[in-house]
Amino acid sequence: MTPKICVSIMPKTEADALHQIKQAEDYGAEIVEVRLDAIEHARDLKGIARCGKLQKIAADKNPGSTEREKHQLLLNAARSGFAYVDVDLANPLAVSFVKEVKAAGAKCIVSFHDYKSSPKTEELNAILDRQLAAGADICKIVTTPKQQTENLALLQFIQEASVKAKLVCFGMGEVGKVSRLLSPAFGGYFTFASLERGSETAPGQMSIDEMRTAYQLLGL
C-alpha cells in the first residue's frame, strides 16, 4: 500500500497555479487541491484544470466570501474540468449544490472541519452519514485533537468507516500530525501535504517530501 498524497496549493495568480501544479506533479503527488480563493481575479479555470496529469480539487475556504460567490466560483471550476469540487457540509444548500456540481461534470468532496476540538466517534459517524446523504463521492472530516489519544480514536474511526465510504480524515495542528501522516495506513483515501515548507495551507501540514520520507522509514 502506497499512501496517496494530495498537495494543497494557494497560488496568487493563474501563472503561479500552473507552476505549482507542475511542481506537485514533479514531487510525486497523486492529487492537487487548488485554493481558488487565493487567486486574484481567477478567469482561466480551464487552463488550470487541464494543466499536467494530476486530478484537481477546486476549493474556496475564504471566510470573507459569501456562499453565493463560492457557489459561482466552484460551479465554474466543475464546468471547467476540475475532477472534484469541495463542498462544505455547513453550507445550508449543500445537497442542492452537490447535485449542481455533479450535473456540471465533477465529483464532490463534502467536507467538515472542526477548528476547536475532535468530536467523539459517535458524532464522527453522524457527520459521515450526513455527508453520504448529501451525495458525497468522498467524505472529508478534519478535526483539531488536543491530545494523542484523540488521534488514536480518529485512526480507529477511519479504519472502521472507510469500509462504507471513501474517507479523508485526520487531525489538524501539531498534535494532529500523527493522524495526518498515518490516516492512509488505516484506510484513508488520501491525506494532505504542502508543496514545501513555508507553503502550508493548514496548521500542522507537512511537506510532501517530509511525508514521503516518513513513509519510507515506516515501510509504507
Kindly state the helix (H) or strand (E) to which residue 140 belongs, with its residue range: strand 138-143
Q: How confident is the model at residue 132 (pLDDT cuts 50, 70, 90)?
A: very high
- pLDDT on residue 199: 92
CATH topology of domain 5-108+175-218: TIM Barrel (3.20.20)
Handedness of CA 100, 103, 106, 112 (dihedral sign): positive
pLDDT at residue 1 is higher than 80: no
**Tens digit of pLDDT for each residue in 53-75?**
999 999 999 888 888 889 999 99
pLDDT at residue 18 is higher than 90: yes
Q: Which residue has the cell 459521515?
A: 128
**Tens digit of pLDDT for each residue in 185-197?**
999 999 999 999 9
pLDDT at residue 127 is higher than 90: yes
Q: How confident is the model at residue 44 (pLDDT cuts 50, 70, 90)?
A: confident
Kindly state the helix (H) or strand (E) to which residue 170 belongs, with its residue range: strand 167-171
- pLDDT on residue 65: 82
pTM of the model: 0.96
- Write a three-state SS string for 28-47: CCCEEEEEHHHCCCCCCHHH
pLDDT at residue 43 is higher than 80: no
- pLDDT on residue 212: 96
Stretch 148-170: mean pLDDT = 97
